[in-house]
Amino acid sequence: MKIDDDVTIKFEGCCDRNGKITAIESFNAKKMYLIILEDYPIGIWFFDDSNIIKKNI
């Protein structure tokens, strides 16, 4: 995945949400993605540890 990719975030117990990657950082040898969601236009950081982020094709 790269910056400007459209993605779907899987939320436990809730519906999936679409967003866009705006930044990618490394933290403790893991990738973190800053993703803009409709409810969070500034963005939220997500780890992709449990495959919660899926790239939209």
Angle at 17 between CA 46 and CA 21, to 5 degrees: 45
Confidence of residue 50 (pLDDT cuts 50, 70, 90): low
* CATH architecture label of 5-55: Roll (2.30)
Calculate what percentage of the chain has a pLDDT beyond 70.
Answer: 96
pTM over 0.85: no
Average pLDDT over residues 31-49: 88
pLDDT reported for residue 11: 80
Average pLDDT over residues 24-45: 90
Closest CA to 9 of 57, 26, 48, 25: 48
Q: Say how far residue 38 (Cα) sits from the centre of its chain.
A: 12
Distance from C-alpha of 32 to C-alpha of 49, rounded to nearest angstrom: 9
Phi–psi pair at 37, nearest 5 degrees? -115, 160
pLDDT reported for residue 52: 85
